[in-house]
Every structure is written in structure tokens, then in C-alpha cells.
Amino acid sequence: MASARTSGLRRATDILILAATVAFAILWLLPIAWVVAMSLKPNADLMRSTAGFLPIPFTIENYTNLLGRETVPRWLMHSLIVSVAMTLAVLIVSSTAGYAFARLEFPFKRTLFLIMAAGLMVPEQAVFIPLHTMFSDWGLHNTHFALVMPRVAVPIGVFLMMQFFRSVPMELEEAAAIDYASRLTIFLKIMLPLSIPALTTLGLFTFIHAWNDFLWPLVSATRADMYTVTLGLASIQSNFAFTEGLGAVMASAVFASLPIVLLFLIFQRFIVAGVAMSAGK
């Protein structure tokens, strides 16, 4: 009897906690809902009032104007090129190095590993100024190359791949070695196909990171026609925020976030699992 009462109480608290969480989640989403609603309202109406979460009166003019102009589509193109290139480069470089550390024996392995691990402690702020002077000397600022290259050799990527390759059973490789398959063949034909989940996770993280990169692009891509989406939206905020109308600015923000939000919604299981993986689980 006593236990029936406690279990009833327990269920009631469960429901209460869930209700509070839902309320909090709605609160969490309000800023996004509000911004999306503003992007679907005429600029003239927003001049009077920005209140309300429903786009009434409704218009898609902000979006059609956006596509008609060159700026935002060009920012998107730069972001796509940079993010895809960086993702591919990180995957190639991390998986080959990760495989070497996980499965091959060679002189100075430990030394090289320690040198790589030391890189984990160096934040980008400690190197972005000298990197800037180097790319200036080479005359390479305002290029996709400059936005991609300093982000390619990331120790955490190598760690992730190394941990994954270590978890692959040795027998799979040994069987192939008996057939006199070369290391490269083993890597390409056996290890890489097996590591698709790890590659997906690393790739998604790199892509999101590249898309949202801010400090380095801010000092390297200084010409407006080389802006990525993230830089472009930052420039809107500091320069001409209200000249084109609030609705237009909000539409730019929504439009620029769409690719990354879609990516998140499709792959969120990989992304959330990746957080746990990168923590060294």
C-alpha cells in the first residue's frame, strides 16, 4: 500500500519534470521561431513592430530578393567549397596517419606521436597571427586554399581514426596479408570500408566546424567577394544591418543556416554519438 502510493507519487513527479522540460524546450526555440517569422514578414511591417511569432502578413519576398542578389548565394558557394575541401582533406590525412599509428611499426613512432599529441594543447589563437604573416608573405590571402589548409592537420582527427582502427580485429588484416596484399590495398579495400561510421562522424564534425569557422577567415578572407556565409552574416551585423530591412537580414540568417540544420537533422545520431567518441569513450 505504501509502495503503491510512492509509485503514484513517482509517476506524478515524472510527468511534472517532463512538463517542465517541454516548457523549457519551447522557450529554447522561441528565438528561432521569432526570427523565422520575421523573415517571412514584409519589411515595412517590421518597421512598425517585430512582435508576434506568426508571419502575418505573410510574404516570401525577402527570400526571392535574396536569391536575386549576388551576395548571399556567393557566400554560400564559398562556404560549400571550403567546407567540402576541408572535410575531404581532413578525412584523407587523418585516416592515413591514424592507420600508421594504429597498425604499423616504424622507428620514431613514439616521438612522432608525442609531437602530434602536443598539438592538442595549442589553441588556434596562439598561431593565427604568425599564420597570417606567412600567408601574407606567400600572397595567398583571400583564397580558398588559405581558408582550408591551416585546418587540415588536426590531431584530434588522427586520434579518432587511430582509436577506431585499433578496434578492428587483427585477423581481418592478417588474412589479407597471407594473400600478399600490400598495406595500401589492405588500407583501401579493408580498413576504409570498415571505418565508414568513424569517417562519417569525423566528416560531419569537420564540415560543421568549417562552415562555422570565424576567427581565421575573419583575418584571411578580407575581401567581401571572398566572404563565407559566416563572415558575410557577421559583416551584415556590423555594417548595413538595417539598410535593406530587418526581414531581409533575418532571411539571410535563416537561408544561410539551412544547409547546416538539414545536415544536423539528417545525421544527428552520428553527431551526438561523435561527441561521446571524441571524449575518448
Residues 255-274 binding another protein (CB under 8 A) are 256-257, 260-261, 263-265, 268, 271-272
Nearer CB in complex with another protein: 9/60: 9
Grid coordinates of 8:
503514484
Name residues contacting another protein, limited to 156-185 (CB under 8 A): 158, 182-184
Nearer CB in complex with another protein: 167/182: 182
Q: Which of 15, 44, 77, 129 binds another protein (CB under 8 A)?
A: 129
* Cβ contact 231:214 at 8 Å: yes
Q: Which of 65, 96, 143, 163 binds another protein (CB under 8 A)?
A: 96
Q: Could you tell me how many residues make up the chain?
A: 281
DSSP string, 94-109: HHHHHHHHHH---TTH
Residues with Cβ within 8 Å of 200's Cβ and at least 6 positions away in sequence, in order, are: 267, 270
* Cα Rg of the chain, angstroms: 25
Q: How many whole angstroms separate alpha carbon 220 and alpha carbon 159? A: 28
* Cβ contact 62:251 at 8 Å: yes
Q: How many whole angstroms separate alpha carbon 264 and alpha carbon 266? A: 6
Name residues contacting another protein, limited to 32-71 (CB under 8 A): 32, 34-35, 38, 46, 49-51
**106 part of the interface to another protein, by CB under 8 A:** yes
Which of these ranges, 55-63, 65-73, 146-154, 194-202, lies near another protein under the rule CB under 8 A?
Answer: 146-154
Q: Which of 1, 5, 28, 223 binds another protein (CB under 8 A)?
A: 28
**114 part of the interface to another protein, by CB under 8 A:** no
Instruction: Identify the H or E element spanning 16.
Output: helix 2-39
Compute the least distance from the CB of residue 223 to another protein, in Å.
15
Which of these ranges, 27-35, 54-62, 166-174, 193-201, lies near another protein under the rule CB under 8 A?
Answer: 27-35
Grid coordinates of 83:
567546407
Name residues contacting another protein, limited to 192-251 (CB under 8 A): 208, 211-212, 214-215, 218-219, 229-234, 236-238, 246, 249-250
Nearer CB in complex with another protein: 109/189: 109
Whole-number Cα distances in Å, 198 to 77, 133, 280: 27, 35, 13
